Homo-oligomer: A and B are copies of this chain.
Amino acid sequence: MSFLPNEKNASKASLDDVAKALGVSKSTVSRVLSGKGRISEETRNKVMQCAAEMNYQPNVIARGLAQSKTFNIGVVLPYEKDLGEIPFFQNCLTGICETVSSMDYDVVVAMAAADDASQLERIIRNRKVDGVILTRSVINDPAVRLLKENSIPFVLIGSTSDDSVVQIDIDHESACSELTAYLLSRGCSRTALLLGNKSHNVNLSRYNGFVNAYEQSGKAFDAALIYDNLSGRRAVELAVGEIINKGCDCIICGDDYICVRALSALKEKQIAVPEKIKIASFYNSPILQSYTPPITAVNADPFELGETAARTVLSLINDEDFCKDVFLSYELSIKKSTL
């Protein structure tokens, strides 16, 4: 009853076992299985069949040792518990897993707080990954520094002002254009645009999208209603004050931090949203998700972000030519704040 030859003492056969069973050399088997090097059709078939019969499964670890690869992608997730409240990261992870596993890679996760990349550091030190995906953008991210120092290929889901970082994000120009057009169609004749740091490409894209939408519509926008380089609570407050005085009926916020500040400024001034003024924003982050009233915004599909990030980091690893500027689809989520 014990030691049945055809039994599933599965996945124990090594490449060497297959070679011996066939009376050929290891390299021959290796060549067949890896598809590299020329092999006669005959031996190829012989090997394939034998490998299948023996239920041979290559040892990825050993292959990795020999090639200095791990076939693992590191994914850095936020450590903060309250960030877990939206499905964003889990859906991202799902997209990443699905994509990398189709290339026979696996995902190693590391949690990291905004100021603590120690888990990532371990993974790098232990040589557990060939590349890394950062799932959120953090100013002055220690993870970015670490990855650069160690020359690990990585991509960031989101946007940063550091142009040397490969970023995966939606097409902000087109998204902002669509958002602006929607608002125009809703009758907003005087829409303000509140943008953050001008040197940040993403803000330029939003600006362009805004302008485009106006051009398409044939209407003219009031340049005095465009604010950029807004940084800090105070700057937004001031801008909102001015905007109100200029009689605008709608605000587009370049990001959710600006939006939160604008909302609190409006609340302070007792200006009702959306009755007195409409407001819309961009986000990938959760802080607006549960706001009252719900805020109209441009949303990225986290699953797709994950997929794209995965594909991109895999190309980086394999030195394939890849498109650094990634344009992703998005979704205009119309909520009460613009009705």
Contacts and interface: CB of A to CB of B under 8 A. Distances in A.
Interface of A: 8, 10-11, 57, 59-62, 64-65, 70-72, 75, 77, 79, 81, 83-85, 87, 89-91, 93-94, 97-98, 101, 104, 106-111, 119, 122-123, 125-128, 149-150, 303
Contact of A119 (B65, B75, B97): B97
A77 B60 contact: no
Given A61-B128, A93-B109, A106-B122, 18 more contacts: A11-B125, A57-B125, A57-B127, A61-B65, A62-B65, A65-B65, A77-B90, A77-B93, A81-B94, A83-B90, A85-B87, A97-B109, A97-B110, A97-B119, A104-B122, A106-B126, A106-B128, A108-B109
A21 to B, nearest CB: 20
Contact of A122 (B59, B83, B101, B150): B101
Nearest to A11: B125
Nearest to A81: B91
Contacts of A10: 150
Contacts of A8: 149
Contacts of A79: 94
Contacts of A75: 109
15 contacts: A11-B150, A57-B126, A57-B127, A60-B128, A77-B90, A79-B94, A81-B94, A84-B87, A85-B87, A93-B111, A104-B126, A106-B108, A106-B123, A107-B108, A109-B109
When all copies of this chain in the complex are counted, the total is 2
Contacts of A72: 108, 128
A107 B111 CA distance: 10
A169 to B, nearest CB: 21
Contacts of A77: 90, 93
The 5 closest A-B pairs by CB, nearest first: A84-B87, A84-B90, A60-B126, A97-B111, A107-B109
A81 B70 CA distance: 28
A61 B127 contact: yes
